[in-house]
Amino acid sequence: MKYAVGVDLGGTNIVTILMNEKGKIMARDKRATEGWKGKDHVIGRIAQGIASVLNCKMQNAKCKMSPLALNGQAGGISLPAQQKLRQRTTHDARRTTAVVGIGIGTPGLVNLEKGIVYEAPNIPGWNNVPLASIYKREFGIRTFLENDANSAALGEWWIGAGKGTRYMICLTLGTGIGGGIIIDGRVYHGADGYAGELGHISLSFDGPKCGCGNLGCLEAYAPAIGIIRRTKEALRKNKKSLVYKLIGGDPGRVTPAVVAQAARKGDGLARKIWDDTGYYLGSAIANYVNIFNPEIVVLTGGLTGAGNLLFKPMWKTVRARAFKGPVKKLMIVAGKLPDDAGAVGAAKTAFQRAGK
């Protein structure tokens, strides 16, 4: 049996798993990212997670192992003393457990071929970090990088909501909007590895400014930040809304969950916010459907908890705006791996790129 390690590097937590080639999670580790402590600290946290799941598998396999002390140096980057690891991962142990690779899903701008993260949000000093070579050196296992949204898409395709399909679009609805495109079971990267920025399709040429600097991107309208912005704007003109009561008159307390709560109680302002969100998202999905003709669109992230408040107007818009042919058999569903999609996809990345 072959195995791979998958790492999902999030702004809050790092999830690390060990998976077998059949898609079963054999071991799991979750720990706080603590990105505010800087690059070296996070590199050590990732290494600890990898060491944890490898130890679990090796102990279960009852391999004969001799200690291999890590030298505290990761690709030329010194790790803090308390993060120096002593991990039993000799050549014989790796051969017995057959770990073919380590996959890491990371936010930010990634060079897939060189295994370098050029930059990543929320981690000070996270620039030009050679993550792949760092963990290849430390664990002696080939290491591969992937964008975090692509990893989540691949995870949902492999054992989640997209299992059994060939063509899939995945949208991660959180603070922003991430995306991944799966074609014939593999992530579509484009010519230079930057494909899949589905949150930055333009819905309006003179719309609100997006964080990327463009105007009218989907990400400026539909994710959590868009819902909060539009709700605050509406409340300036309507303080009789239930939303205003629920937040105690404090705009800083507006969240998508509060808006959903008010909408379920029939509040007109809140219902319009969700109707508009579904319209914006549905308009974007209609474009994806016309371009890629996917079998399924998988939505992940906290906003999917709104249920039909989001899905009903979204579906209405997709049916109205997309070509009838590709919509006929189209499925749009919520993801099935809320906590592990990124790590599962990272493990699948390792299997695929290691030649499995």
- Nearest CA to 156 among 27, 292, 311, 342? 342
CA of 91: how far to CAs of 19, 239, 264, 352, in Å? 19, 67, 58, 22
Q: Mark whether 46 and 121 lie in a shared domain.
A: yes
β-strand pairing of 177-183 with 186-187:
antiparallel
- CATH number for the domain spanning 81: value is 3.30.420.40
Q: What is the pLDDT of residues 244-285, one digit of tens each?
A: 999 999 999 999 999 999 999 999 999 999 999 999 999 999
With beta carbons less than 8 A apart as the criterion, state whether 13 and 29 touch: no
Q: Is 215 helix (H, G, I), strand (E, B) or coil?
A: strand
Q: Is 21 helix (H, G, I), strand (E, B) or coil?
A: coil
Q: Mark whether 177 and 119 lie in a shared domain.
A: no
Give one DSSP letter per residue of 209-233, joined into a string.
BPTTS-BSBHHHHSSHHHHHHHHHH
* CA-atom Rg of the chain in angstroms: 22
Count of domains for the chain: 2
Asked which of 96, 123, 147 is the last residue of a domain, the reply is 147
Walking along the chain (356 residues) 10 residues at a time, the average pLDDT comes out as 95 95 96 92 95 71 32 42 40 59 94 92 85 95 96 98 98 92 96 92 93 93 94 96 97 97 98 98 98 98 95 98 97 96 98 87
Q: Mark whether 18 and 106 lie in a shared domain.
A: yes
The length of the chain is 356
The whole-angstrom separation of Cα 234 and Cα 97 is 58
Domain containing 322: what range? Answer: 161-334
Residue 160 Cα to chain centre, angstroms: 14
Tokens of 306: 């709104």
pLDDT at 356: 55
Q: Mark whether 61 and 200 lie in a shared domain.
A: no
Q: Mark whether 186 and 256 lie in a shared domain.
A: yes
The whole-angstrom separation of Cα 176 and Cα 324 is 29
Tokens of 254: 């507006």
| Torsion angles phi and psi, residue 329, rounded to 5 | -110, 10
Q: Mark whether 210 and 83 lie in a shared domain.
A: no
The whole-angstrom separation of Cα 7 and Cα 201 is 28
| pTM across the whole model | 0.87
Q: Mark whether 104 and 64 lie in a shared domain.
A: yes
pLDDT at 120: 80
The whole-angstrom separation of Cα 94 and Cα 112 is 24
DSSP state of 202: B
pLDDT at 11: 86
Q: How many H-runs (helices) and E-runs (strands) does the chain carry?
A: 12, 17
CA of 165: how far to CAs of 22, 24, 55, 323, in Å? 16, 19, 34, 21
pLDDT at 56: 60
- Nearest CA to 172 among 195, 149, 194? 149
Asked which of 147, 176, 194 is the last residue of a domain, the reply is 147
The whole-angstrom separation of Cα 12 and Cα 123 is 11
